[in-house]
Structure 1
Amino acid sequence: MNQIITFGEVLMRISPRGNKKFIQSNAVEFYFGGTEVNVGISIANFGGKVKHISCISNDFIGDTAISYLNKFDLDTSEIVRSSRPLGVYFLEVGAVMRPSSISYNRSHSSFSEIEPSMVNWETSLENGNWFHWTGITPALCKGAQETLLEGLKLARKKGMQVSADPTYRSGLWKYGEEPQKVLAELIEYSTIFIGGINEINELLGTEYSYSNDDFIDASKELMEKFPSIEKVFDKIRTAKNASWHKIRARMWNGTEFRETRDLDITHIVDRIGTGDAFAAGLIHGLQNFNDYKAMQFGSAACAIKHTYQGDVNYANEREVISILEGNTSGRFNR
C-alpha cells in the first residue's frame, strides 16, 4: 500500500463568525488544521492514502481532533498523546483593504513536547512511498526538529520521495537554533522543493529577484547546492486587496521551465490553508500526471480552497480538474 506520510502539529483555530473582530463578537466558531495535516486531508480527499504523525492532547479536545482526522480516513495509529493542551490560534478574518490577523497560543502545546523517542519511524514509514514536511515543524522546538530529521533520514534510506515546503516564519524560531542551518540540513534529505524566491534566498543567502529568469537561475543554484532536489515548484500570489487575489505557478524540473495561467479569485471566503492546498494538489498530481499538469492541478487546488471556510481544502479530484479545465463560472451542477 502506497501511503503519504505527514508529520506536524494539529491546531484548533478559533474565529469570530464572518469578518468580525473579536471585540465585536461574543460568538466564535472553531476548526481543526495545521500546515501538514491540511496537506494530508486534502490528499485524502483526492483519493490518496495518508498517515499523519503528531502529538495531541489526551483530553476530549484531542479526541475530537483525532475523530476529525479519521473522518477523512487519515491513518492516526501513530499519533501519541500528551497531558499538555492542544495548540490554538485565534484568527480575525479581514476584508477588502483590512488584512486578516492571527495570534498563536502554541508555545506549551502537546506537540511542543515531541521527542524522537516518541515516534517509531520504522513502523510509521512501513507503507510509505512519500514524506511531506514543512518549515513550520522544525521551527517549533528542538524535539520537533530532531524527530523530523530522523524521519527524513529513514525515508530517504527507504527510497521514498520527500517533498519540502520550507516555509520560513521568523516569529516561530525561539529555541536558539539558526533557521538557515536547520532547514538546509533537512533539505539535504528532500527531492521535491515547494517554494519560491524568498525561500531559496533564505537558504542560499542570495538576492535573486522574482523574475522568471532569476527563478530558473535560483532553482539551478539550489539543485547544485542540494543535489537530492529534482524539481522546484513555486506558487505566485498577486493580491489586489484582502478579498481579491490571483494565483499562478511555475516550475523548473531540471530541464524545462513552465508557468501556468493566472486564476482569478475575486471573492475570498477563506485564505488559510491555500498554500497547503497547492502542495497537496502538486503531490497528488506528481503521482498521477506529468510535471506541468501536476503544477496546474496544484494551482487549481489552491484556487478552489479560497472558497471553503476553515483550514482544509474539501475539494475532490473531479472538482479540481473542472477548475483546471477552465470551468470557473460557478454555475449550478445539475
Structure 2
Amino acid sequence: MQKEPLKKRKIVTFGEVLMRLSPSDNRKLLQAMQLDFFFGGTEMNVAASLANFDVEVQHVTNVSNDIVGEAAIATLRKYGIDISAVKKVPHPLGLYFLEVGSAMRSSQIAYNRLNSSFAKISPEQVDWEEILSGCGIFHWSGISPAVSEGAYQTLKLGLELAQQKGIVVTADPAYRSNLWNYGRNSGEVLKELISLSNIFIGGVTEINEILKTEYTSDKDGFIAASKALIAEFPSVKKVFDKVRSSINASWQKIYGRAWTGEEYISTSELEITNVVDRIGTGDAFAAGLLYGLQNFADNEALDFANAACALKHTHVGDVNLVSVEEVLEVAKGKTDGRIKR
C-alpha cells in the first residue's frame, strides 16, 4: 500500500471539450422545444473536478475560434482551470446530444465530433516542455487517441516527455469502438500509450480488451487481470477500478477496488436510488482518485474516489461540482442526505 501521498504538484489533462445538448426533465428529443447545454468531455471533466477540489490543473485542447469556443473557454476559466494551453482554431467545437433515461429506459447519446477543433490538433501546436514544467501527474484517456491521428501523435509526444521527466502518468483506457475511424488499430495504440503510463484506471473488461484475455470480473479475476497487465506493462504499478451494478437507469450501486502491486483493497458499496445524471461519473471517480493519491494513502484515496463518483450521480451536467468536504463526509459513511442548516 502507498505509505505516502504523491507530491502536490500541478496536474495536466489532455482531451476534447464538447458541448452537450440535452432536453430537460427526462424528455426525449422528439418532445423537446428547447435544449439545455453544458460543456464537458472526459478529461475536461476530470480537470474541472480537480480545480473544484482546489488543485492546480491545466487542460490542453483546441476549441473553435467563434462564440462557442469563447463560451467553452469562459466555462473552463469559471471552473478554475489553467487555460494557457487552450488554442482557438478555425474548426467547429464537437457536440453531443443526450436523452437522459429513467427507470428501465436507457439514456442515449449521439455524437457530432467529426472534423472538430480537437480532432485537428497536431503536435506542433502544443509546447509540452513548457506545459509539463512543474507537473506532478499527467492524466489521459483512451478517447483522445481515438479521435484522430493528430490527437494520437500529440498525446504520445506528451507521454514520452512525461516519462523522461519522471512525471506520474495516469491512464483511463475508456475504449470506444465507434470512435476509431481514422485507420489506426486501437489495440496497438492503447498498448503503446499504456506502456508509457504508471497508474491504470480501469477494470477487467478494459484489461481483457487490451490483452485479448478472458479474465472473470470477480475478485480473483480482477487480481489475476491486474497482475497480467502489470507483467505486460512494467511501467504500470497499480490498477484502480470502479465497479457498477445497475438495477435500472435511476438506481445504481458502485464500489471501488484496486490492486496496489502488493495487495487487494476495496471500498464499501454505495447505493444511488435516485440518479439525476450519470454522465461524468467515471470522470468523477478518476478526479477523486487523483486528488486522493496526492493527499492520502491508497485505501483512503480509493474511498474518496468512490464517494466522489457516487455524488456526481446527484446533479445535472458533466462536471462533479461537490466539495472536498462533501466527498469526505460520504467517504466516512454519512449518506443520509439530511438538510444542512
Using structure 1 for the length normalisation, give the TM-score.
Answer: 0.99
Q: Which deviates more, 124-133 or 270-279?
A: 124-133
Give the structure 1 partner of residue 31 of structure 2: 24
1:66 maps to which of 61, 69, 73: 73
Q: Residue type of the partner of 1:284? A: Y
Q: Residue type of the partner of 1:54? A: T
Q: Following TM superposition, by how much is the alpha carbon of 1:208 offset from its aligned partner in structure 2, in angstroms?
A: 0.4
Question: CA separation in 2, counterparts of 1:3 and 1:18?
Answer: 38
1:300 maps to which of 290, 304, 307: 307
Q: Residue type of the partner of 1:153? A: E
1:168 maps to which of 161, 175, 186: 175
Give the structure 2 partner of residue 272 of structure 1: 279
Q: Residue type of the partner of 2:219? A: N
Give the structure 2 partner of residue 257 of structure 1: 264
> What pairs with 1:123-138 in structure 2 (closer than 5 Å)?
123-138=130-145
Asked if 1:102 is matched to 2:138, the reply is: no
Question: CA separation in 1, counterparts of 2:260 and 2:153?
Answer: 29
1:37 maps to which of 37, 44, 52: 44
> What pairs with 1:225-244 in structure 2 (closer than 5 Å)?
225-244=232-251
Aligned length: 334
Give per-residue Cα distances to partners, 1:162-209, cap 9 Å, x unaligned.
000001110000011111100000001100000001110111110001
Q: Following TM superposition, by how much is the alpha carbon of 1:72 offset from its aligned partner in structure 2, in angstroms?
A: 1.6
Q: Residue type of the partner of 2:23? A: P
2:147 maps to which of 119, 140, 143: 140
Give the structure 2 partner of residue 223 of structure 1: 230
Q: Is the 8 A contact 2:52 2:80 kept in 1?
A: no
Give the structure 2 partner of residue 318 of structure 1: 325
Look up the SS of the partner of 1:113 in the other structure: coil
Q: Following TM superposition, by how much is the alpha carbon of 1:127 offset from its aligned partner in structure 2, in angstroms?
A: 2.1
Look up the SS of the partner of 2:340 in the other structure: coil
Question: CA separation in 2, counterparts of 1:214 and 1:93?
Answer: 33
Question: CA separation in 1, counterparts of 2:274 and 2:128?
Answer: 42
Question: CA separation in 2, counterparts of 1:131 and 1:242?
Answer: 32
Runs of 5+ consecutive residues of structure 1 not aligned to the other structure? none
Give per-residue Cα distances to partners, 1:72-125, cap 9 Å, x unaligned.
211100111111111000000000000000000000111110111111101111
Question: CA separation in 2, counterparts of 1:106 and 1:25?
Answer: 22
Give the structure 1 partner of residue 87 of structure 2: 80
Question: CA separation in 1, counterparts of 2:34 and 2:174?
Answer: 32
Q: Residue type of the partner of 2:103? A: V
Look up the SS of the partner of 1:207 in the other structure: coil
Question: CA separation in 1, counterparts of 2:9 and 2:257?
Answer: 27
Question: CA separation in 2, counterparts of 1:79 and 1:171?
Answer: 26
Percent identity among equivalent residues? 54
Question: CA separation in 1, counterparts of 2:304 and 2:248?
Answer: 25
Q: Residue type of the partner of 2:185? A: E
Question: CA separation in 2, counterparts of 1:74 and 1:156?
Answer: 24
Give the structure 2 partner of residue 286 of structure 1: 293
Q: Residue type of the partner of 2:315? A: Y
Q: Residue type of the partner of 1:104? A: Y
Look up the SS of the partner of 1:261 in the other structure: coil
Give the structure 2 partner of residue 190 of structure 1: 197
Q: Residue type of the partner of 1:20? A: R
> Runs (4+) of structure 1 moved beyond 2 Å?
none
Q: Residue type of the partner of 2:58? A: K
Question: CA separation in 1, counterparts of 2:83 and 2:186?
Answer: 29
Question: CA separation in 2, counterparts of 1:220 and 1:318?
Answer: 34
Question: CA separation in 2, counterparts of 1:250 and 1:126?
Answer: 32
Q: Residue type of the partner of 1:215? A: F
Look up the SS of the partner of 2:242 in the other structure: strand
Q: Residue type of the partner of 1:167? A: A
Give the structure 2 partner of residue 121 of structure 1: 128
Q: Residue type of the partner of 2:286? A: A
Look up the SS of the partner of 2:241 in the other structure: strand
Look up the SS of the partner of 1:277 in the other structure: helix
Give per-residue Cα distances to partners, 1:244-275, cap 9 Å, x unaligned.
00010110011110111110000000000000
| Superposition RMSD in Å | 0.8
Runs of 5+ consecutive residues of structure 2 not aligned to the other structure? 1-7
Q: Following TM superposition, by how much is the alpha carbon of 1:326 offset from its aligned partner in structure 2, in angstroms?
A: 1.1
Q: Residue type of the partner of 1:27? A: Q
